[in-house]
Structure 1
């Protein structure tokens, strides 16, 4: 390695630190850092060629860097890859030695050697170096990525296919809300990005909400619109949020919220005798959230206790009608708290199934109707899932091989609907 560029950079830095202003001192120190990094990379190239790292008991250059320079694996890998750039791209190496480009620029060239290839990078080295000299490392990365897409267009389709294999999205309930995770393929992700950009745009020049607030509110507004009119109803029951709560809990929650408003520091909590309201698919919710949802939603009342069973009998249709009525569907959803009856399933978009199939003589009676998500309903009709029993004694689920699944008790509509 020719040490003169590094020595010159050190001399310039020393002179500027003695007489220059703060701005010049900072600039020259940054250039010196780049020059030292480049010199270190060049020396690593020589050490790799000589194999002298073996004299210190290291089997590889990377091991020697970790042991002798006290670097972690990530730092050692970056340093060794920078040495490879210095060896393969001489124009880039010279610019690095002179402190004209940073180690971040060098990392972009490392990416290019790995993903674009040596020959295309050598062919376009002068153009790419010009970009590095005038622009930030991020701009250089984008330029090299564009070169990669031009040289290897088949990689774009391969990436799209890999994305199709990985795509998934989950919405899981957690104690303080919902956790959304997933991965979308190129096309679906672009659609979602376009929608989110649209609904989360600032309303006007006075919109001072943060980006996260605008995105969440925009998504909430979009979901409100879809649930109100954008989804087809299922036999009269339109997809919606469902909260299940008894009348006593509603009254207690209203009193608690009012007291908390009037006396924020001394108001007692809700009575432990009242059962908390439950949001379908999520779980228990507090009185303030219950009152908010009650304020913006509609209420449907159900009789929850009737000793002689008359209410259930009124809702039975026997063999007269195949399709469950709207009130039967709502009663099943209320009985199951809006969640699929299959053990372990938490989906909330439900279809109504005759546990004794209509084609096998089963009646359309409330105690023999069960709510299943689309997937579980398909499994039933494909013979992969079996269900027996009724809402009075409880439904029993089993696999196609007859292995019993954990029993989920379905309380009779005569006692809770």
Structure 2
């Protein structure tokens, strides 16, 4: 095992992003289906590392602390970009999207647990291959996997959760583009992005921004304050009814700080700088997450779990096409939100953002999608998912879990 420290892990992530950029630029399938660069590059590197390990016995380990921090920085930047005046604009569509996402959580758990029972497995395995890891992601999977292992004696729960979450992360990035491509045939495509003068945060990551030393210094300071407060709130609420993932508290702290600075102190915040730093953190987080895939672990999953994950992927795509797209308005904004829903419905919110960016940088901005999806994916979905998981655990215990 060759263990790379944080600096070398960052170098490796940079190589992954450069490789992904080249692949997407030169391979029509990736480009036409809007596969994010980090997904393309990360998956190829993960395969290469698996082959290297199997043929030579040499394997690589990557420092995970930087990846965690980048994820927190990204979510905090979303909080800092959330002006209350914009959140109010979310209004009814925000509520509808929360309901749609919650409905998908219920569907995932019914499908997962139903298939597990039908295949002769413990229903809790289906719950792990349901919203615990697919909507919840790695952090949620580790937390609930530990609960199922300790309280219900489910063997290998944490390891299985990590494998399912990893698989979901890849699949969430892979199906978002094709789903959007299918839906784009149903609506009139928007204007070319070059015709748009307004460039909202996270919507056009390749656009030029007005960033200077002062704005970077101020934004880094706001990020540091928000992360510090969020981390303190995380410790304060641990093992209480208010317990949530650390990044949620950091996002929440960012929202509060942003609006205090904007509406109390009447100081203009540099959205351009928040945009740049947030997108940099997002790109490197995805690259690190994907290049760290343990494909050997995924290959070792039992056939029933692979079947469940495969069917969950099809169900997510169908739900995005026939439910999310329709309830969100059957328009271009709905297409971008459907691609985003595929991202965090199977993987994580950063994957959702990457999916949406892959669409908007080709077909034009979707302010509505980038207003609603990050807040739902990073905040509301965790609350809804946790409540529903508790209900399904009770159901699973009665089914023999």
Q: Given the two structures, how large is their TM-score scaled by the length of structure 1?
A: 0.17
Looking at CA atoms only, which structure, 1 or 2, has the larger radius of gyration? 1
Q: Which has the higher contact order (CA 8 A, sep 6+)?
A: 2
Determine which structure has the larger strand proportion and give its number.
1
